[in-house]
Structure 1
Amino acid sequence: MIDSTDAVGPLGDGSFRTRQWPPLPVGPCGEQWRARAAEAAAVLAVGAAERDRSGEPPHAEVELLKEAGLVTLLGPAVHGGGGQSWSVAHAAVRVISAADGSIGHLLAHHYAWVWLAEFIGTEEKIEHIGEVAVRAKWLFGGPSRVREATLEIGDAGVDMVFNGEIADPVGCRVCDIVMLEGRIPGREVPISALAMATEPGFGLAAERDGFGLRRSVSARVAVDDVAIPWTGALGHVDKQFQPRPYNEFLHPTLDLALANVFLGLARGALDVSAAHLRADAGRTDGAFGSLVAWLWQAEAFADEVAAEGDVLHARRTSVTERDLRAHRARVTAALDRASAAAAGITSRVFDVTSGDDAVMAEVSRLWRDVRALSARVAPDAAEVGRSFLDGTCRTDIEEPEDD
């Protein structure tokens, strides 16, 4: 539960009071990073509903994430990053989402984008982007549907020239880096590259009056003749892509992060209703307990899959197609259970709190965020069934050998 009793909320101008965040150690210290995420979430929880109604870009929230170190949680420790595992990143997304779904959604995509060089890049790019992203505390934004590559690319010799539109982008109103993804006509392999958000070729459309996730998703971003050197094409050498099995781990990793957004939203709804029930002389019944049990079950499964993922990320240079199929099925199942739990819990808390107006006003934000996210993320349960039938859905993932 997020305790905002002593949290300092936003100032009159929408910013948060500056505070000193002590540095966190690197290495196996995930619990301390989870506690840091909870501290940041307690600040975000104060006034979250009002900020959601305003629809203003979350500049102050992003600055808070940077100051708390959450933006660089996955970054290499040698350059000042947290050096944490993906399971810790997923936990941070869940905690932040319980306070503010838009910010948790933004953070989930940031983690996937900031790790993109690891997924598809060459060793040179992995080292370079890992260093500069940590040192500059960059926040990454881009299309919500990764590797669909909706932009068209022209080969101008030394440069690639991107044109088109990023539909349904995440974080592009507040990010430092925009991930561009497109294709050269006639070529199948998508090309991804980083661009500074200040690039004059970007044009933000008029803001959408969104149903949910109002502050992380924009209407669209127009891309007009944005030139990026070919040396910036991730995973390419001499304009040719260098494939490896780990490339495809991008999708399930992002899906698992989004599963944790769902779980955070469900947790936030239970926290709000619990506060109401405590104030009502601790009134509760079996219906509320069933909702708690539902969430605990979905959280436990997501954590189990995240731990399996940590093993695979640790040996990303040697993962196989079989590893990918097995992990993808497990992630899909976790996403399916998380989305179902979030939809059910955010709907049914209205009943267990007897339709209290204050609870309904607060939970309605979380309910809308769940529905908006559900419209973007559709887990393919049939894939889980297929993997079970053909035997690829396994949990016997081998631990990496010690050096």
Structure 2
Amino acid sequence: MSLLFTPPPVDGRVPPAPAPQQAPHVVRDDAEAIEIAHRLAAVFAEDAAVRERERRLPWAELETFSASGLWGITVPREYGGAGVSNTTLAEVIAIISAADGSLGQIPQNHFYALEVLRVGGTASQKAFFYARALAGERFGNALAEIGHKDFRRRTRLTQDGDGFRIDGKKFYCTGALYAHWIPTLVVAEDAGREVTWLAFVPRTAAGVTVTDDWDGFGQRVTGSGSVSFDNVRVEADWVVPFLASFERPTTIGPVAQLMHAAIDLGIGRGALAATLPFLRDHARPWIDARVERATDDPLTLHHLGEVHVRLRAAEALVRHAGRITDAAQQAPDERTVAEASVAVAAARALTTTASLLAGTRLFELGGTSATLDNRGLDRFWRNARTHTLHDPVRWKYHAVGNFHLNHTLPPRHGAI
């Protein structure tokens, strides 16, 4: 792949991604999406450990990923996409995440933005941005802000003739570094109250600065750094209602959280897949002298069986949550959306513990050899530990328990 796809950072500031060189493949249906994901995962897995160890940003891999058409699979059929189910979306993300957890997470906010657009966008906004997605353009994010104890957003949207201007700073901007558009949450005054919007900002717009300052010990090449907006001009048609989308029952929250569950599920699968050949091919001393091989050790078999069972259970919950979310998208109301949120919360709870267990068992069963840096096996635990902290899993259990015991519907927001 040409160095055209590896923009060099300047003081941490990263130039925009180049425009797509050709129109991507258009995925026909769910089955093709799964088949393409498996094919890409086999390629992405080859250098995943090197990318993670050297923090080599995956520009070339993302171009291949985009060209495959997978970034357009949630575009509804009436707009030219495959309109795949949420179950398929989750499985695609899990497949890619098993090969490379960072590559599995990077498109999460892209699909999130498309779901916000589906729920709150006008017909003309959908037609425009869906076409951009099908043309291979990537949407990142600039949602979170840090440093404020009141948790209020400071990024402002102000009127500027027939458009708007944006000023503010964001962090944890996964995908923004590689994006062509950076959807960002902004607040504006409307009839005496603050209203939140999602503004789609071109990455090349004057005043946009993306800084590669993400230094987490896991998910190291997600590029989840910071973005600043300095008097950035956006068109009125690029601004979509956000808070209003949560004032009624919608599946924005469940879809977002389902993708996070899929990322953790995939990382866990990857850890288990790495454990099996490692144990078959590498000897280690055993406490019980009667056991000659790792494959004969009863405790090893017990631990592997436990990981397998937990991952299969997590997989079943993710698929169940996908089906419930699909149903809620077709008929959204207070009850169906709440059921989707609770089902996804259960999946998130189990994928968290299952992925962490899989990474931990890889260390325990592989011994010291599994920790050698040149093997890169530590990335599974580091990636799972980092990503599972995205939002507190303890509140997932709370939501599930409160729903089943007290019939209390969970709140509507992007973290449940």
In structure 2, distance between residues paired with 1:145 and 1:328: 21
1:345 corresponds, among 358, 363, 367, to 358
Secondary structure class of the residue paired with 1:71:
helix
Q: Which region of structure 1 is more displaced relative to structure 2, 181-190 or 142-151? A: 142-151
Provide the C-alpha distance between the structure 2 equivalents of 1:85 and 1:113, rounded to a whole number of angstroms. 16
1: CA distance, partners of 2:152 / 2:139: 17
| Aligned residue in 1 for 2:323 | 307
The offset of 1:57, in angstroms, is 2.8
TM superposition shift of 1:78: 5.4
Q: Which residue pairs with 1:107 in the alignment?
A: 107
* Equivalent in 367, 370, 386 of residue 354 of structure 1: 367
Q: 5 Å matches for 1:143-292?
A: 143=142, 145=144, 150-185=154-189, 187-235=193-241, 245-246=248-249, 248-280=250-282, 283=295, 285-292=301-308
> More displaced, 352-361 or 30-39?
352-361
Distance (whole Å) between structure 1 residues aligned to residue 218 and residue 255 of structure 2: 23
- Residues 48-57 or 219-228, more deviating: 48-57
Structure 1 portions without partners, runs of 5+ = 1-9, 395-403
Alignment CA distance shift 1:202-1:23 (3 Å): closer
CA-CA distance at 1:392 after TM superposition:
5.8
SS at 2:380 equivalent = helix
Give the TM-score normalised by the residue count of structure 1: 0.83
Residues 1:257 and 1:22: Cα distance change in structure 2 (over 3 Å):
closer
Q: Name the CA shift for 1:389/1:285 in 2 (closer, same or farther; >3 Å).
A: same
Q: CA deviation at 1:188?
A: 3.2
Deviations 1:113-136 (A, max 9, x none): 2232102212332233222321x2
Instruction: Provide the secondary structure at the position in 2 that maps to 1:375.
Output: coil
- Are residue 298 (structure 1) and residue 277 (structure 2) matched? no
- The AA in structure 1 aligned to 2:350 is R
Pair 1:124–1:113, CA change in 2 (3 A): same
Secondary structure of the structure 1 residue equivalent to 2:381: helix
| Cross-structure match for 1:7 | none
Residue-pair matches, total: 371
AA matched with 2:262: N
Change over 3 Å in CA distance of 1:163–1:269 after alignment to 2? same
Judging changes above 3 Å, is the alpha-carbon distance between structure 1 residues 155 and 25 closer, same or farther for their aligned structure 2 residues?
Answer: closer
| 8 Å Cα contact 2:345/2:400 also seen in 1 | yes
Using the aligned pairs only, state the percent identity. 24
Which one of 306, 315, 325 corresponds to residue 338 of structure 2?
325
- Deviation, 1:106, is 0.7
Q: Is the 8 A contact 1:272 1:359 kept in 2?
A: no
The answer to whether the 8 Å contact 2:27/2:81 transfers is: no
Contact 2:251 2:325 (8 Å CA) reproduced: no
Kept after mapping to 2: 8 A contact 1:256/1:331: yes
The question of whether the paired residues in 2 share the 8 Å contact of 1:34 and 1:91 is answered with: yes
Given the superposition, is the C-alpha separation of residues 347 and 14 from structure 1 closer, same or farther in structure 2, using an over 3 Å criterion?
A: farther
1:23-38 equivalences under 5 Å are 26-27=28-29, 30-38=30-38
Give the superposition deviation at 1:62. Answer: 1.1
Distance 1:268 1:393 in 2: 34
3-state DSSP class of the match of 1:26? coil
Q: 1:342 to 1:148 in 2, by over 3 A?
A: farther
Paired amino acid for 1:81: G
2 CA distance for matches of 1:21 and 1:353? 44
Q: Distance in 2 between matches of 1:241 and 1:383?
A: 22
Match of 1:69 in 2: 69
* 1:54 correspondence with 2:54: yes
Is 1:368 aligned to 2:367, yes or no? Answer: no
Please say which of residues 104-113 and 73-82 is displaced more in the overlay.
Answer: 73-82
| Alpha-carbon distance in 2 for matches of 1:201, 1:183 | 18
* Stretch deviating more after TM superposition (227-236 or 249-258): 227-236
Specify whether residues 36 and 242 from structure 1 end up closer, same or farther in structure 2 by C-alpha distance, changes over 3 A only: closer
Aligned to 1:82: 82
Amino acid at match of 2:174: V
**Partners in 2 of 1:42 and 1:342 — Cα distance?**
20
Alpha-carbon distance in structure 1 between the residues aligned to 2:143 and 2:165: 21
Give the partner amino acid of 1:163. Answer: D
AA matched with 1:362 = G
Partner residue of 1:400? none
CA change 1:112–1:241 in 2 (3 A) is closer
Which one-letter code corresponds to 1:269 in the other structure?
A
Counterpart contact for 2:363–2:370, Cα < 8 Å: no
Residues 150 and 333 of structure 1, relative CA distance in 2, 3 Å threshold:
farther
* Residues 362-393 of structure 1 deviation map (CA, whole Å, 9 limit, x = unaligned): 33112111121122221312111111123367
Q: Deviations over 1:271-308 (max 9, x none)?
A: 11112123257715111111111111111111111111
3-state secondary structure, aligned to 1:285: helix
CA distance 1:133–1:115, change in 2 (3 Å): same
Classify 1:231/1:36 alpha carbon distance in 2 versus 1 (closer, same or farther; 3 Å): closer
- The amino acid of 2:277's aligned partner reads A
Q: Residues 297-338 of structure 1, C-alpha deviation per residue, up to 9 Å, x if partnerless? A: 11111111111111222x2xx411222222112211111111
Closer, same or farther in 2 for the Cα pair 1:365/1:193, shift >3 Å?
Answer: same
**Counterpart code for 1:168:** Y
Contact 1:69 1:82 in 2 (8 A): no
Quick check: 86-95 or 49-58, which moved more? 49-58
Which runs of 5 or more structure 2 residues have no equivalent in the other structure? 7-21, 146-150, 283-292, 411-416
